[in-house]
């Protein structure tokens, strides 16, 4: 091997000078590695620049999607609000149609009222909801549309709220049969009892602490059926009380104040009830019982 095939490296330091010889092939590898390294560096730089631009594009698209999503959320919330307002309007229409439709058709005749005997009046007061389900009756929220104390939305209050501390005795307001019980603290009404009475009437007692009757129990007017509480969607202890007739809800306040002294007032205050037919039915039933 000649001297032309070798590469001599000389290193000098304080200890003297040393010489190193490298094969010519190594020299070529060394010389070729420089452009390769430069090429790799250039390609890496270009690739990183491309990736940075892609990341910037993705960030921009992400911001655009977030803005678009917020826009859609705003539109959805607006639609939901419109639907709620439309639902309220429909409830108003249904209420007007349902109540107003029968105001004149269900008037009871004065002659029919005059023929109701004392025994029949007592019977009606026992079998149709009357008086208060609590010993002390103070209304804290009336029947009809109101701003819900929890949801803060305008809703139709289907009953009335009566002031009651926890564990206050709750009594049924007419003879009947226990139709429904919810013993769990869930839903809007929480623990509740529904009692079916004669002639299509029902009463509902809600937001209870616990129930003292079972489904199918026959109860008498004034019987203890539950203890008041704060279950369900409620902002404080009270009793929610409803009076229902067929498919409608009636103003319980009129039935709470109904007694022998103001007996005839119920016929004009609750005209959605078919009083004429109902009274005639009661009279005919009593006649049959007398004949037997």
b/e code 16-45 from CB counts within 10 Å (16+ = b):
eeeeeeeeeeeeeeeeeeeeeeeeeeeeee
- pLDDT of residue 97 exceeding 50, the answer is no
- pLDDT of residue 67 exceeding 80, the answer is yes
Mean pLDDT taken over the chain: 83
- pLDDT of residue 39 exceeding 90, the answer is no
Which pLDDT value is given to residue 47? 82
207 is written with which tokens? 């937001």
Residues 6+ apart with CB under 8 A from 81: none
Cα separation values, 67 from 54, 59, 64, 171, Å: 20, 12, 5, 57
Q: How confident is the model at residue 57 (pLDDT cuts 50, 70, 90)?
A: confident
Which pLDDT value is given to residue 239? 97
DSSP structural state of residue 106: T
Q: How confident is the model at residue 19 (pLDDT cuts 50, 70, 90)?
A: low
Which residues are paired to 146 by β-bridges? 155
Rg over CA atoms, the chain: 43
- pLDDT of residue 42 exceeding 70, the answer is yes
Q: Which tens digits make up the pLDDT trace of 241-290? A: 999 998 899 999 999 999 999 999 999 889 889 999 999 999 888 776 66
Neighbours of 168 (CB within 10 A): 21
Q: What percent of the chain has pLDDT over 70?
A: 79
Which pLDDT value is given to residue 237? 96
Domain residue extents for the chain = 3-65, 102-291
Q: How confident is the model at residue 128 (pLDDT cuts 50, 70, 90)?
A: very high
Structural class in CATH, domain 102-291? mainly beta
| Phi/psi-derived region of residue 192, left when phi > 0, alpha when psi is between -120 and 50, beta in every other case | beta
- pLDDT of residue 18 exceeding 80, the answer is no
Is residue 226 exposed (0-12), middle (13-18) or buried (19+ Cβ within 10 Å)?
Answer: buried
Neighbours of 5 (CB within 10 A): 12
| Phi/psi-derived region of residue 267, left when phi > 0, alpha when psi is between -120 and 50, beta in every other case | alpha
Task: Give the span between the Cα atoms of 50 and 185, in whole angstroms.
Answer: 60
Which pLDDT value is given to residue 26? 66
């Amino acid at each position: 091997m000649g001297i032309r095939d070798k590469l001599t490296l000389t290193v000098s330091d304080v200890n003297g000078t040393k010489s190193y010889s490298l094969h010519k092939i190594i020299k070529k590898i060394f010389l070729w590695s420089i452009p390769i390294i430069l090429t790799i560096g250039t390609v890496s730089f270009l690739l990183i620049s491309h990736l940075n631009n892609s990341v910037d594009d993705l960030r921009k698209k992400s911001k655009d999607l977030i803005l678009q999503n917020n826009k859609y959320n705003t539109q959805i919330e607006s639609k939901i609000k419109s639907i709620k307002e439309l639902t309220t309007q429909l409830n108003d229409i249904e209420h007007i149609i349902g109540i107003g439709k029968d105001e004149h058709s269900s008037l009871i005749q004065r002659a029919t009222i005059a023929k109701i005997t004392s025994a029949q009046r007592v019977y009606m007061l026992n079998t149709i909801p009357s008086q208060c389900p609590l010993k002390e009756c103070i209304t804290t929220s009336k029947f009809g549309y109101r701003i819900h104390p929890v949801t803060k939305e305008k809703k139709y209050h289907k009953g009335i709220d009566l002031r009651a501390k926890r564990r206050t005795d709750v009594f049924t307001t007419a003879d009947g049969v226990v139709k429904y019980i919810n013993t769990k603290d869930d839903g809007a009404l929480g623990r509740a009892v529904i009692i079916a009475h004669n002639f299509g009437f029902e009463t509902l007692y809600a937001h209870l602490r616990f129930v003292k009757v079972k489904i199918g129990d026959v109860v008498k007017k004034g019987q203890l059926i539950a203890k008041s509480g704060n279950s369900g969607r409620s902002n404080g202890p009270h009793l929610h009380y409803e009076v229902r007739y067929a498919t409608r809800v009636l103003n319980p306040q009129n039935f709470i104040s109904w007694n022998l002294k103001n007996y005839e007032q119920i016929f004009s205050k609750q005209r959605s009830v078919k009083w004429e037919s109902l009274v005639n039915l009661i009279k005919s039933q009593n006649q049959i019982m007398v004949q037997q």
